[in-house]
Amino acid sequence: MTDTSIGPQKQLLLIDDDPNLILLVKDYLEFRGYGVTTAENGREALGILESEIPDMIICDVMMPEMDGYAFVEQVRQDPRTNWIPVLFLSAKGQSQDRVKGLNTGADVYMVKPFEPEELVSQVEASLKQAGRLLKHKIQGGQNGPKIQVPFDVELTPTELKVVQFVARGMANREIAEAMKVSQRTIESHVSNMLAKTGLHNRTELARWAIETKMA
């Protein structure tokens, strides 16, 4: 079973042009309690990120249309996604390949073929680390400059409920389950709040909610 300390149903984005690997890894991760969205290449994945923000990205390196390097560079340049942990999967295992992958922006580099249990362990470790960083940023931010948001921002009752869940560190899928709506609906609410407030990511939304005592 997945470690419940990182929360149930974390959402992963799995990107690979090998349909057999996609099928096997997706089935295994879903069996272990994760939600998995898939894409065949980096360009398709960027389209998914326009409307869905996963908790982690698992990405092949060599792919058509847009390879893993180019994709991760785009992810790291976007404030909406630059915080997401990225795990690279690659058939290239030389030290220079690992160095290039990590320098490009990946957090973990795994060489194919790999044991499914090792992949799950890396995913769990990365999500725990991301959770610790989020908690640290929120707590540390309370001692630093306050989040600046226009004074006339008004949230709908539903948005207020969503941002309270965000401030607790809950993933979109978890919030969707708690509110009995689709994950896409929650992602839409989060995007609307980011647009209203001018904030860049969920971490800032959480800080704002805590600082203004909404959460």
Is the pLDDT at 141 greater than 60, yes or no?
no
Q: Report whether pLDDT(193) > 70.
A: yes
Q: Rounded mean pLDDT of 50-69?
A: 89
Q: Which residue has the tokens 């470790």?
A: 125
Per-residue model confidence as pLDDT tens digits over 33-48: 899 999 999 999 999 9
Model pLDDT for residues 74-127, shown as the tens digit of each residue: 998 887 788 889 999 888 877 787 888 888 888 889 888 888 888 988 898 888
Contact 14, 22 (CB under 8 A): yes
C-alpha closest to that of 100 among 62, 47, 149 = 62
Residue 133 has pLDDT above 60, yes or no: yes
Q: The sheet that has 56-60: what strands, in order across it?
A: 35-39, 11-15, 56-60, 86-90, 108-111
Q: Is the pLDDT of residue 145 over 80?
A: no
Across the range 12-22, mean pLDDT stands at 93
Confidence of residue 215 (pLDDT cuts 50, 70, 90): low
Say what the pTM is: 0.61
